[in-house]
Amino acid sequence: MPTSDIKQCEIETSHARVEGRNECKWVGDLHMSAFSGLASPLKTPFPKDLLVLDLETTGTDPVLHSTIEIGAVLLDRHTLEEVKAWSAVIKRQERNGTNPRSMALHGRSLDNIKSTGKDARQAVEEFFDMFGTDYLLTGWNIGFDVQFLRALLRHTGHTDAFDVIDYHRLDVWSISQFFSKAHSGLEDARITATALRRLVQLVPHSSLAVAV
């Protein structure tokens, strides 16, 4: 893409940078509606509330790399309105390596992660204190996030808690690839939630019921 065609815009809450043609309009539009639900409740609600999850990592392999940020937004199953949200930067497991491309995506340095991050066990306990385990995991390429979540819970001794979470997943990326991401855990979770609200208005409710 020519340099003249690239725009940079700042998302107010996270100061995350997004690059691409006309992205400022799209991301700004998504951000403005990130907290509100649907205009009217779903005729066929989801079986459980949805937990929109976004993890930032030091690479692509959960065995070799670490989760260094989690953003999560709980959506009401009837309206998809944001119920509560939480995020945390997590200290990297020292034995794990980094992938330069992954590190470039979220823009956090190892020094920043070390100085601002929480202990992994503390972060996981905060996560479960906030959300519990009774929800459907939802996200943008949720399969990737679930792999790293499972590895993080195994590392902190919470494998049993992961097994209690409903095994059904809703992958927003599989439905639409027309929304921009900011590569900040909480902001990406909110962008995904907004994309989901728009998409459920386009997909027949019967199809959604089968998908989850």
Rounded mean pLDDT of the chain? Answer: 77
Residue 7 · residue 28 · CB < 8 Å: no
The model's confidence at residue 160, banded by pLDDT at 50, 70 and 90, is: very high
Sign of the alpha-carbon dihedral angle for 209, 45, 133, 137: positive
What is residue 175's predicted lDDT score, i.e. its pLDDT? 63
The answer on pLDDT for 135 being more than 60 is: yes
* 54-106 residue pLDDT tens: 999 999 999 999 999 999 999 999 999 999 999 999 998 877 789 999 998 88
CATH architecture group of domain 38-211: 2-Layer Sandwich (3.30)
* 103-119 residue pLDDT tens: 988 888 889 999 999 99
In the block, which residue shows the tokens 């979770």?
189
In the block, which residue shows the tokens 């539009």?
29
The answer on pLDDT for 194 being more than 60 is: yes
Please report, for the chain, the start and end positions of each structural domain, with discontinuous segments joined by +: 38-211
Cα atoms in the Cβ-side hemisphere of radius 13 Å centred on 63: 0
Which of the pair, 24 or 190, is modelled with greater confidence? 190
Which of the pair, 13 or 209, is modelled with greater confidence? 209
The answer on pLDDT for 53 being more than 60 is: yes
* 13-45 residue pLDDT tens: 333 333 333 333 333 344 444 556 776 888 788
Residue 39 · residue 81 · CB < 8 Å: no
State mean pLDDT over 176-180: 52
State mean pLDDT over 189-202: 77
